[in-house]
């Protein structure tokens, strides 16, 4: 780890200059791989809905998604209900996952977004409550080298670019029950690439947001929990416009990795990103010495460019992408931004290019139709609607 951090520190200077070192990856060399999809529908997808969504609906959404072959689900956010009312019952969703593990064909990593130490404390309150009730909710330390404690729950054998998995209390509970699909839990933190958005979103500067993360990162590592870090508005800001400096994004990513983040999700929160600017950003991140395996891309489809930008990132070697079933989403702090790229559309696109995701498109399409009906909104996944139409035609 120290050598990696030394390299990242030395790469700070490179982050200030455009990259001319590496050519654009060819389709032949980069498409036919496994792609990891991070399903953000239960959190990022629902947070901007105006109507109050019943807890039972949120839990059922997680349950249904778990059966589709997805391996990572962002299930909730421990933010203040004052600012994001829709996330007020995330503790109850965590309790459900801890005590009644959703059935799934593969072990699932559940991610929980935390804005600050208070959010982490609220997360820990539920975690500790499970421990005190006799359920070991604390993560267990990794086995000593050379010991055989059974198969690990890390899916890296199927996905070489997946984040290292950490053991969790739910994993311990699952093993006690003899379950083969015990979940892993990870934390997420977030900052932004512009000062204006950071002030609007978290009421602090970028530097102050990083300072807030230090105790969260330290405690997470103590508990053996992986941490994902979001960088919002990396390809366009609602307050500062579309020309966000990619070198600032790279320097911020380096700072987060140095702090101990396990993965950086670079987010086009406004959907302003274009193919040329997406490529420029990816080249800049590469020039800064940031491994592609440390990155995820998070596109919104405000201007209909999310799939185009995703293919650009795929050809550049990115293998982790965020998406929301049914195209759910929007950001309460980004006026005009529409939903995330639909998971169904992303899966269909990647499958058509020869990549694998492990996701059952038909099952996923059914989930997208169901949650859209539950919310009384249109299903924004074109691939999902087309897939269901073909299924109905066949029957």
Express each pLDDT in 60-90 by its tens digit: 999 999 999 999 999 999 998 888 899 999 9
Indicate if the pLDDT at residue 163 is higher than 70: no
Q: pLDDT value at position 331?
A: 56
Is the pLDDT higher at 228 or at 51? 228
Q: Which of 204, 237, 331, 349 is catalytic?
A: 331
In the chain, where the domains are located: 32-131+182-394
Domain at 32-131+182-394, CATH from 3.20.20.70, 3.30.43.10, 3.30.1330.20, 3.40.50.620: 3.20.20.70
Its pTM stands at 0.82
What's the chain's average pLDDT? 83
Top-confidence range, 78-87, 95-104, 161-170: 95-104
Name the packing angle between helices 306-316 and 275-287 (round to 10°): 30
Residue 87 burial by CB count (10 A; 0-12/13-18/19+): exposed, middle or buried? buried
Write out pLDDT tens, residues 197-242.
999 888 899 999 999 999 999 999 999 999 999 999 999 999 999 9
Give the least confident one: 141-155, 334-348, 359-373: 141-155
Indicate if the pLDDT at residue 338 is higher than 80: no
Both tokens of residue 193? 């690439």
Q: pLDDT value at position 170?
A: 36
Is the pLDDT higher at 299 or at 30? 299
Q: What phi, psi does 347 have (nearest 5°)?
A: -60, -45
**What is the mean pLDDT of the segment spanning 111-139?**
79
Per the annotation, the verdict on 19 as an active-site residue is no
Indicate if the pLDDT at residue 383 is higher than 60: yes
Q: pLDDT value at position 376?
A: 94
Indicate if the pLDDT at residue 356 is higher than 90: yes
Q: pLDDT value at position 5?
A: 55
Q: pLDDT value at position 395?
A: 80
Alpha-carbon gap, residue 101 to 183, rounded angstroms: 7
Residue percentage of the chain with pLDDT more than 90: 70
Q: pLDDT value at position 1?
A: 47
Give the least confident one: 61-65, 162-166, 184-188, 355-359: 162-166
Task: Tell me the CA distances in angstroms from 161 to 31, 51, 190, 257, 299, one per residue in order.
Answer: 14, 38, 21, 16, 19
Q: Work out the pLDDT band at 379, boundaries 50, 70, 90.
A: very high
Top-confidence range, 30-39, 113-122, 132-141: 113-122
Both tokens of residue 13? 């200077």
Indicate if the pLDDT at residue 151 is higher than 60: no
**What is the mean pLDDT of the segment spanning 289-307?**
96
Ramachandran category for residue 236: left, alpha or beta (phi over 0 → left; psi -120 to 50 → alpha): left
With contact defined as beta carbons under 8 Å apart, do 265 and 296 qualify? yes
Both tokens of residue 32? 């036919």
């Amino acid at each position: 780890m120290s050598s990696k951090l030394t390299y990242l520190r030395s790469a700070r200077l490179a982050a200030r200059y455009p990259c001319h070192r590496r050519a654009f990856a060819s389709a032949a060399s980069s498409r036919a791989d496994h792609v990891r999809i991070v399903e953000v529908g239960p959190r990022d997808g629902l947070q901007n809905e105006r109507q109050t969504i019943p807890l039972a609906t949120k839990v059922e959404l997680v349950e249904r998604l778990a059966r589709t072959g997805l391996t990572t689900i962002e299930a909730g956010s421990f933010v203040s209900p004052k600012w994001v009312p829709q996330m007020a019952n995330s503790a109850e969703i965590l309790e459900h996952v801890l005590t009644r593990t959703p059935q799934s064909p593969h072990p699932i990593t559940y991610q929980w977004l935390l804005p600050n130490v208070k959010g982490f404390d609220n997360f820990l309150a539920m975690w500790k409550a499970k421990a005190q009730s006799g359920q070991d909710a604390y993560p267990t330390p990794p086995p000593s080298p050379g010991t055989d404690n059974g198969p690990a729950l890390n899916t890296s054998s199927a996905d070489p670019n997946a984040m290292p998995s950490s053991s969790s209390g739910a994993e311990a509970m699952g093993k006690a029950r003899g379950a083969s699909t015990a979940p892993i839990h990870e934390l997420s933190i977030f900052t932004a690439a512009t000062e204006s958005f950071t002030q609007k979103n978290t009421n602090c500067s970028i530097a102050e947001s990083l300072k807030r993360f230090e105790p969260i990162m330290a405690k997470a590592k103590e508990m053996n929990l992986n941490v994902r870090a979001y960088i919002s508005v990396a390809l366009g800001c609602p307050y500062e416009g579309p020309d966000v400096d990619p070198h600032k994004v790279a320097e911020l990513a380096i700072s987060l990795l140095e702090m101990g983040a396990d993965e950086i999700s670079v987010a086009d929160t406004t959907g302003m990103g274009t193919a040329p600017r997406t490529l420029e950003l990816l080249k800049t991140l590469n020039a800064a010495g940031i491994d592609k395996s440390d990155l995820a891309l998070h596109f919104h489809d405000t201007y209909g460019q999310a799939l185009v930008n995703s293919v650009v990132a795929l050809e550049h070697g990115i293998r982790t992408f965020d998406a929301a079933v049914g195209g759910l989403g929007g950001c309460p702090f980004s006026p005009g931004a529409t939903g995330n790229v639909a998971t169904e559309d992303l899966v269909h696109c990647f499958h058509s290019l020869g990549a694998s995701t492990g996701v059952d498109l038909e099952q996923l399409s059914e989930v997208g139709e169901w949650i859209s009906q539950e919310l009384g909104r249109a299903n924004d996944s074109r691939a999902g609607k087309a897939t269901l139409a073909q299924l109905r035609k066949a029957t």
